[in-house]
Amino acid sequence: MAAKLRYPTGVRTLLIDETARRRRTEARFVGALERAEFDEVILPIIDYAEPYAPFIDRDAARQSYRFVDREGDIVAIRSDFTPMVARALAPSMTADDLPLRVFYRGDVIRCEASRLGMNRELFQIGAEIIGDDSVEADVEMLQLAADLVRQSGVKATIVYNDVSIADSFSPAVRAALLSKRMSDDVPRELRDVVVRLIGGDATLADVAPFAPVAATRLDAIARALPSDHFFLHLDDIEAAGYYTGIRFRVYANGARRKVAQGGRYDTLYERFGTPAAAIGFTFTIDDLD
């Protein structure tokens, strides 16, 4: 049988010019993170699937390549750095170690539905502050993400919200917010605020009666950030996953495709043995080109 001349769907090689461009971007990111006093951690490319099963939803699980190794254990190729960082650090860290400021880099492999131009192998760089639940930490990470985009010579736009707002409602209301469709299951007394949330017209005053902590925190974040790059969109609602508070997406040069995402996940480390608040972001480097 003749050898296949093409690569598997969603992977590719980087030749000389592309490799040089990626390395320059990587060096710029690493330099900025080190100047901001983040320390690097290196994580394995494969791990057992079992430790992540309790909090990885079905869609995320389907994105990971899994196989049975020679010992009969189910292992997965790295598809998400954030839980792996928590699994690596939580068992051995103590209160005296906190806060920690770490960054990481490397490939993730995701088995997503193939579309023209969609990569399955992605090179990512991310950072986390662990053990700091303050608004100041939220603001710092949002500003750092914007600075990293601007250092690449392009304009940054960051859209943010708080997943705990949607979580404060009943399952029927959450379903309507996620689908952006009004449902007969939504109680009549909540329909006005749900319509405003779906339509993008809601204000923090509208959601404060249901999620006062989130509304107060978002107000403090908005006051601390300049309004030219950062936008609070209360209609920007996604499934929470392991996120517990602020969640944001980063866009470059006004493009609709995001180059980074992040947020706060204050219960993730506890699931691996040590309670600690955490906030972080992850950039997919090639998306900046």
Question: What domains lie within the chain, and their CATH numbers?
Answer: 14-133+276-289 (3.30.930.10), 154-265 (3.30.930.10)
d(CA 182, CA 172): 10
d(CA 200, CA 181): 13
- Categorize the per-residue pLDDT at 289 as very low, low, confident or very high, splitting at 50, 70 and 90: low
d(CA 265, CA 240): 10
- Looking at the predicted structure, is the pLDDT value of residue 1 above 70? no
- Looking at the predicted structure, is the pLDDT value of residue 144 above 70? yes
d(CA 76, CA 191): 43
Give tens-digit pLDDT for 20-66: 999 999 999 999 999 999 999 999 999 999 999 887 777 777 778 89
Give tens-digit pLDDT for 199-256: 989 999 999 999 999 999 999 999 999 988 899 999 888 888 899 999 999 998 876 7
Q: What is the pLDDT of residue 249?
A: 95
Q: What is the pLDDT of residue 4?
A: 67
pTM (predicted TM-score): 0.91
Query: Between these two residues, 154 and 136, which has the higher pLDDT value?
Result: 136
* DSSP class of 275: -
Are 248 and 264 spatial neighbours (Cβ–Cβ below 8 Å)? no
